[in-house]
């Protein structure tokens, strides 16, 4: 689903650059894909954010890291088998 949303995102950006508004772009997207491919509100939200969006995939993003060190988690579990996931997350 994430990959599909990414494709929709770029399709809508294409329509924006062609001078279409959110409703027109969604209508064209739904004509090719399923009618429920993208909610109207989500399409409008993306259109509102497009001017400030950075589409670089290589840059560091904010938020939690995408990778976790499995060895570190295993070491925590080995020391205390009854650790809660929240406790493990706080230690990492």
CATH for 17: 1.10.10
How many angstroms separate the CA atoms of 92 and 85, rounded? Answer: 11
What pLDDT score does 36 carry? 67
pLDDT of residue 61: 62
Q: Tell me whether residue 82 is in a domain.
A: no
Give per-residue pLDDT as tens, 17-58. 899 888 898 888 888 887 667 888 888 888 888 876 655 555
d(CA 8, CA 62): 22
User: Which tokens sit at 16?
Assistant: 């924006």
Task: Report if residue 63 sits inside a domain.
Answer: no
The answer to whether the CB of 33 falls within 8 A of the CB of 11 is: no
pLDDT in the model for residue 60: 62
Q: What is the domain extent for residue 24?
A: 3-52
Tally of domains in the chain = 1
Question: Taking phi first (over 0 means left), then psi (-120 to 50 degrees means alpha), and beta for anything else, what does residue 15 get?
Answer: alpha
Q: What is this structure's pTM?
A: 0.50
């Amino acid at each position: 689903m994430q990959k599909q949303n990414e494709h929709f995102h770029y399709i809508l950006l294409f329509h924006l650059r062609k001078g279409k508004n959110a409703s027109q772009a969604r209508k064209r997207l739904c004509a090719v894909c399923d009618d429920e491919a993208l909610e109207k509100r989500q399409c409008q939200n993306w259109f509102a954010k497009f001017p400030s969006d950075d589409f670089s995939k290589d840059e560091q993003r904010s938020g939690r890291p995408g990778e976790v060190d499995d060895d570190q988690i295993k070491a925590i579990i080995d020391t205390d088998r009854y650790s809660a996931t929240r406790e493990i997350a706080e230690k990492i």
